[in-house]
Amino acid sequence: MPDETRTIYLDPDLDVEAYRFKGITQKFPAHFHDYYVIGFIEVGERELICRGEEYVIQPGDVLIFNPYDTHSCEQVDGGTLDYRCINVNANVMKKAMFEMKGEEVLPRFKESVLYQSEVSSALKDIHVKILGKEEAFQKEELFLYLIEELIKINSDLTIPEEGLESSQKVQEISNYLEEHYTQKVSLQALSDLTGWSKYHLLRSFTRQKGISPYSYLETVRVNHAKRMLEQGVKPIEVAFLTGFSDQSHLTRFFKSMIGLTPKQYMKIFEKKGEV
């Protein structure tokens, strides 16, 4: 079909593949993969057979295939399929489990389909960030949150309850982010700073601060950007002076937090009034 697109990207930071199929009608015969597939339907209705069970899947449904789960699917509504997924190999999954459980084990996901699941929103978020080649820090944070949720709601594993976190270490993380906001910060650097696993760090910081470490970093950057814009520094310069990868990166975060683009915000102070 002329409008059919298939995008495949191997993320070098997470070491996972991101697939996006748009406008396809292809029937997929029975097959399996040697990795985990976590995907969701955006458009279309399909009949899926996985592990001998039959399903009708629709937009908003999340699909999860364990390694070697045999599955097939075909369109049933006469339309086309829009679909996103990430493929996670066993080694990457083991590393995620080590962060959460302290041991390299592989989960077995119980249900192949999670109907109208809120997980689809989290999955789309990380998928968009992967294809947009966003910062590794942000993607890794989102990936661990996604796997955590799937483990909790749909696997044969449990994640141990965490003890009380150290307020001092959480403050050390905050101080580090405030001091290094112009640099490329990594989750590994924060883990090394505290001696915590990345997962424990994310959960402890978010529970105490009410915001994830990456969101905290971007808020610090936006606050510095505001002050520079008020002084008349151009947005393109502000972006690089505050640690954003480029002007569009600054604009996305700035507008999401402030409700205005950097240019609109700067004009307020140029005119001493409203836009």
Q: Which residues pair with 88 in a beta bridge?
A: 36
Residue with tokens 């997962």: 199
**C-beta of residue 184 within 8 angstroms of C-beta of residue 135:** yes
**Whole-number pLDDT of residue 201:** 94
Question: What is the average pLDDT across 154-177?
Answer: 88
The region of weakest confidence among 84-88, 90-94, 236-240, 267-271 is 267-271
Sheet holding 36-43, edge to edge: 5-11, 16-24, 81-88, 36-43, 62-65, 113-114
pLDDT tens-digit map of 190-242: 999 999 999 999 999 999 999 999 999 999 999 999 999 999 999 999 999 99
Q: Is the pLDDT of residue 160 over 90?
A: no
CA distance 257 to 252: 9
Residue 218: which of 147, 146, 134, 145 has the closest Cα?
134
Give the pLDDT confidence score for residue 275 in this predicted structure.
46
- The pLDDT of residue 164 is above 90: no
**Domains identified in the chain and CATH numbers:** 5-154 (2.60.120.10), 161-275 (1.10.10.60)
**272 pLDDT band (50/70/90 cuts)?**
low
> Could you tell me the pLDDT band of residue 78, with boundaries at 50, 70 and 90?
confident
Residue percentage of the chain with pLDDT more than 70: 96
Its pTM stands at 0.91
